[in-house]
Amino acid sequence: MSASYRVEESAPAGLRATLELRLLETAARYLYVNSLPLPFVIIGLCVILWHWYPLGSLIVWAAFALVSWLVLGALLHRFLHDSARLRDRRQWIARLAVSLFVATCALVSAAIFFWAPGDRMNNVLLYVYVAAGMASAAGQSAPCRTLAAANLLPYGATFLGLSLWHERFPFSLGFAALEFIYFGLIVMYARAVHQLAYEMLLLREEKRSLIGRLEAALADATAARKRAETASRAKSQFLANMSHELRTPLNAVLGFAEVIRDRLFGDDAILRYAEYAANIHASGSHLLGLINDVLDLSKIEAGKLELTPERFDLAQDLGEALRFVEPQAARKNVELVREIPESLDVFADKRALRQIAVNLLANAVKFTPDGGAVTLSLREDANGDVTLAVSDTGVGIRPEDMGRVLETFGQGRHDVTPPDEHGTGLGLAIVKSLIEAHGGRIGIESKLGEGTTVTVTLPQTQVHMAA
């Protein structure tokens, strides 16, 4: 067995099916193209055979041959335009093989019906007709072995039968031996054509597969490069913002501490020094919050975030979160609106949910201009899920920034916020990671210039209503 046949049998099932179809398509195209001039061949043969046989019988045979080949041509056309031919390839092979066998029998039957015993011109003509038809059939149908067998068997049987039936012994045996050798050469030729077609199609499919893999790899590499560039830009922006976020409270801490240390307002300015101490405490708390954000982010990215679920009153805890942002809201004259029930027990990590609420409230206040409003709402859905939403009347988020604001270091537009309100780009990313760690989800709705609503949903499996 040749190497190509071993490859064909050892190829993956999907590739074998594709190659089987491609070989059938190649044979079908050859047969369809070569069947177009066939009516002229049939008419020409009838004109020649008219020398020995009456026109009526020739017309009957020609009509039968033409109809059989028209049926085959119609089937070939349908097959080549069938979008489901890969799935139905086995049925198509059977249909085409049967139709081709009948059409070939119709063609080769001329040598049987119109043989003139003892007339060598007629006999040689029909021998040549069958031999030439056999060679043509081998070239046309060789890519598909089933079609090749259906096409060659009628020719081979007729070719050998003519000499054995009509020639006298021992000439008939010698002539049959030569015909057998010729038929064997035709079969070897068909096999070689099939092998060549198979190997060419195999190389083409492998090239397509390789090109597909290369394109996929290129797309992955391009996407990875873009992600790396985006991450690099985001981290650079983060470092720039973080340096500002750290320097501002540190400068305040150092400045107020120096005033107190050097007693610039004298020994009796206790109230003034107490106010500065409060500012130092606020700046230190802000620094601690930044550091906690960075540490939480590092835990999340390292996959080491550990939740400690407990049952607690989320409504009461949200009140504490509101008090945390009240000074910031008061400085900007931003109204804080509560839409919270008296109590709502949940089973979750208390610190994580408090951080979610604080981050969302701080973001909302930060991006809400003076005189605006921030609304904190909490409700239980009909299916038992608990939904926490923070709405503001701030600057909103551009559509192209919607995906980025949830990414690590991702931020929206900076042209609408004061330079000291840009932030680090960690707040929403941490919120997203924390709520997803609880099995929940986050959603954002925003309209540029009108405000933003961020909603986090805690699944019902985590919720236990207070009695």
pLDDT of residue 350: 84
**From CA 313, how far away is CA 345, in angstroms rounded?**
4
pLDDT of residue 11: 56
Tokens of residue 339, six digits:
């839409």
- Per the CB < 8 A criterion, the answer to whether 434 and 457 are in contact is no
Q: What is the pLDDT along the chain (467 residues), one digit of tens a residue?
A: 344 444 455 556 677 888 888 899 999 998 998 888 888 989 999 999 999 999 999 999 999 999 999 999 999 999 999 888 888 889 999 999 999 999 999 999 999 999 998 888 998 899 899 999 999 899 888 899 999 999 999 998 988 888 778 777 676 777 778 888 888 898 998 899 888 888 888 888 888 888 988 999 999 999 999 888 877 776 776 666 666 667 777 787 888 888 888 888 777 778 888 887 888 887 787 677 677 767 776 766 666 677 788 888 888 888 878 887 888 888 889 999 989 888 888 888 888 888 888 888 888 888 888 889 999 999 888 777 899 999 999 888 887 777 667 665 555 444 444 444 545 556 787 888 888 888 888 888 888 888 899 999 988 654 443 33
φ and ψ of 31, to 5 deg: -65, -40
CATH 1.10.287.130 domain range(s) in the chain: 230-302
- The second-level CATH assignment, the architecture, of 230-302 is Orthogonal Bundle (1.10)
pLDDT of residue 301: 65
Short-list 466, 231, 453, CA closest to 360: 453
**From CA 372, how far away is CA 377, in angstroms rounded?**
17
CATH 3.30.565.10 domain range(s) in the chain: 309-462
pLDDT of residue 418: 47
pLDDT of residue 430: 80
CATH class of 309-462: alpha beta
79: Cβ–Cβ under 8 A, 6 or more apart, which residues? Answer: 24, 28, 85, 92, 95, 96
pLDDT of residue 308: 82
State pLDDT tens for residues 207-266: 888 898 899 999 999 999 988 887 777 677 666 666 666 777 778 788 888 888 888 877
pLDDT of residue 66: 93
